[in-house]
Amino acid sequence: MSIDRSNPRAMRTRAALIGAGRRLYRERPVDAVTVDDIVQAAAVGKGSFYNHFADREALVRAISSEIRASVETAVTLANEGVSDPARRMARAVCGYLRFGLDQAESAGVLVRIHSGHTSLSAPLNKGLVEDIENGLAAGRFTVATVEAGLLFVMGVTQLALVRVVQEPTPAFAVSLSQQMCALILRGLGLGGAEADLIAAQASDEIVRKGAAPAPPGETAH
């Protein structure tokens, strides 16, 4: 639905609806939130809702896309200057879980409304797909297909985020991210010792210390 972004009032209304949706979806399952709930929380008329969104599902998609875009920004920062697909994978997973600590409300919403952007062609999966493809081409990964790798990584990472949302403490997130990254890298085909080392480094640099730039001199293997 086209929105006149030059109209401040319209943009405020849209922001109020998205903000209300975020708050409600953080606390309740998607199916338990009605359009009436959303407009009441946003303090706008019901007609205003339909000026911006065709239905409740359209609002859910808008919120999900907005949050996932923020996650992608965090992952991009975490992987700045990193070229090795295995290290990029571990740092991306850790960036995702670090997002769960830094943006607890958004992470909680994402857990609730995760809409399964699992297609290879989904724009928000572009970076992950490229990393898996590059890992296969370089012989770093041995997973059967790109799609299998995508679903594996997304599944493990999403469930790890659920646990971080449930227990949002740095110590737990550091431990869990290290374990999950090692599991993912082993599942993609890396040897155990190297997977453990990369996982430990990524967890320390991204989850424990925050999304810092990659260490100087990091190069592909």
User: What is the total count of domains within the chain?
Assistant: 2
Give Cα separations from 149 to 83, 114, 141, 190 (angstroms).
Answer: 18, 19, 9, 13
Mean pLDDT of 132-153: 95
| CATH number (domain holding residue 87) | 1.10.357.10
Residue 86, pLDDT above cutoff 70: yes
The CATH number of whichever domain residue 34 belongs to comes to 1.10.10.60
Residues 89 and 183 in one domain: yes
Indicate if the pLDDT at residue 114 is higher than 90: no
Together in a domain, 49 and 105: no
On whether the CB atoms of residues 107 and 99 are closer than 8 A, the answer is: yes
Same domain for 189 and 82 = yes
Rounded distance, CA 181 to CA 96, Å?
Answer: 11
- Does residue 214 fall inside a structural domain? no
Residue 219 domain-assigned? no
- Of residues 118 and 184, the one with the higher pLDDT is 184
Q: What is the mean pLDDT of residues 174-180?
A: 97
CA 51, CA 5: separation in Å to the nearest integer?
A: 13
pLDDT in tens, 21-66: 989 988 888 888 999 999 999 999 899 999 999 998 899 988 988 8
The pTM assigned to this predicted structure is: 0.79
Residue 165 has pLDDT above 60, yes or no: yes
Rounded Cα gap, residues 16 and 51, in angstroms: 13
Domain that holds residue 43: 8-54
C-alpha span between 117 and 114 (Å, rounded): 8
- Residue scoring higher pLDDT (2 or 24): 24
Asked if residue 174 is part of any domain, the answer here is yes
> Same domain, yes or no, for 133 and 81?
yes
The confidence score (pLDDT) of residue 126 equals 87
Sign of CA dihedral 189, 190, 193, 195: negative
Per-residue pLDDT at 205:
93
Residues 34 and 76 in one domain: no
Same domain, 47 and 91: no
Asked whether the beta carbons of 92 and 127 are under 8 A apart, the reply is: yes
Please check whether residue 216 lies inside any domain of the structure. Answer: no
Q: What is the mean pLDDT of the chain?
A: 87
**130 and 77, same structural domain?**
yes
- pLDDT band of 115, cuts 50, 70, 90: low
* 73 lies in the same domain as 136: yes
